[in-house]
């Protein structure tokens, strides 16, 4: 029998977890590249994990149909759990009003099928299923961070004033905020992306975007405040976080001293020779994935 003085079961589990992640990522290590914009160097997943040691919140911005990104997210979450223990997963992919359903699934009270149905899971739920399974097996909380879609759609049609017509019980499902000025860079970025169609729809469609950002920022902040010793890993579409705009700005405004790291991950046509200088303003870390072979995975 091993001497307990020299053997720690939790440390042994950590060791096995790291080996498991290493095996998974070994199959994909030629499909992604990680760049540290602060040091102007390409780094490994292990280096990225170490760089998060003093961080409170990690925002992982993705392209929702990038299967390599989803694999990397799960691997990062796994090594973060092994290294830091108390990591809360936060997800744009679930709305605040299904938090109870999500909690019931994590507690193994309802089936995954019921989570998908009653939790209004996204069509590509299978991409997020592995990271949820890891949270469940690790008994770690998962935050349904987003505003209910019906409220975002209501604001896009009728404006922010429509929120005042809701029953007071709905107030816990969204976050209020001050509107930025017309020269706000995020506003300009949004309408540039939307093109003529967005301009024709009016400012309300942008206000709906801000409603999502502000609500997610509040969800992340509340999760961190509930356990300040731990970390929060938030998964979101990268438009919400690139350039530290959107959700990141709302979050940073809540607490200036909050240490936030932003990851921007996307398929890149120049994967073999990335233009890191062009991508440098997107986040603290930029991850490009091999877009040329994405169809092989889906």
State how far the Cα of 292 lies from the Cα of 269, in Å rounded to an integer.
7
Residue 261 is assigned to a structural domain of this protein = yes
Q: What is the pLDDT of residues 227-251, one digit of tens each?
A: 999 999 999 999 999 999 999 999 9
Cα separation, 35 vs 18, in Å, equals: 22
Specify if 117 maps to a domain. Answer: yes
pLDDT for res 199: 61
The C-alpha R_g of the chain, in whole angstroms, comes to 20
- Which helix (H) or strand (E) covers residue 99, if one does? helix 99-106
Residue 258 maps to a domain: yes
pLDDT of residue 294: 46
Identify the CATH number of the domain in which residue 126 sits. Answer: 3.40.50.11550
Query: Could you report the per-residue pLDDT of 45-75, keeping only the tens digit for each?
Result: 999 999 999 999 999 999 999 999 999 999 9
Question: What ranges make up the beta strands (E) of the chain?
Answer: 32-36, 41-43, 57-62, 87-95, 142-146, 231-237, 260-268, 285-290
In a domain, 11, yes or no: no
Number of Cβ atoms within 10 Å of the Cβ of 64: 17
The neighbour count for residue 57, using CB atoms within 10 Å, is 25
User: Which domain range does residue 182 map to?
Assistant: 40-297
End-to-end CA distance of the chain: 47
Residue 24 lies in a domain: no
6 part of a folded domain: no
- Quote the number of domains for the chain: 1
């Amino acid at each position: 029998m091993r001497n307990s003085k020299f053997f720690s079961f939790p440390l042994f589990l950590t060791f096995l977890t790291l080996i498991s992640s290493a095996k998974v990522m070994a199959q994909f290590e030629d499909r992604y590249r990680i760049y540290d914009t602060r040091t102007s160097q390409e780094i490994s997943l292990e280096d990225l994990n170490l760089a998060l040691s003093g961080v409170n919140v990690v925002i992982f911005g993705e392209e929702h149909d990038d299967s390599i990104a989803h694999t990397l997210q799960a691997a990062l979450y796994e090594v973060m759990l092994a290294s830091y223990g108390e990591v809360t997963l936060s997800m744009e992919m679930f709305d605040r009003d299904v938090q109870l359903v999500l909690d019931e699934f994590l507690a193994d009270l309802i089936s995954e099928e019921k989570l998908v149905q009653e939790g209004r899971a996204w069509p590509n739920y299978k991409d997020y299923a592995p990271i949820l399974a890891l949270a469940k097996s690790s008994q770690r909380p998962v935050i349904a961070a987003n505003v209910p879609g019906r409220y975002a759609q209501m604001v896009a049609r009728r404006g922010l004033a429509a929120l005042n017509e809701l029953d007071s019980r709905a107030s816990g499902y969204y976050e209020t905020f001050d509107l930025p000025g017309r020269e706000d860079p995020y506003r300009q970025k949004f309408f540039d992306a939307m093109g003529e169609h967005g301009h024709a729809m009016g400012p309300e469609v942008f206000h709906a975007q801000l409603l999502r950002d502000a609500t997610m920022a509040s969800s992340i902040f509340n999760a961190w405040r509930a356990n300040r010793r731990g970390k929060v890993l938030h998964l979101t579409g990268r438009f919400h976080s690139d350039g530290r705009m959107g959700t990141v700005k709302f979050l940073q405004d809540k607490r200036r001293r909050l240490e936030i790291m932003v990851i921007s991950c996307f398929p890149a046509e120049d994967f073999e020779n990335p233009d890191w200088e062009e991508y440098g303003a997107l986040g603290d870390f930029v991850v490009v994935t091999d877009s040329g072979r994405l169809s092989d995975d889906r």
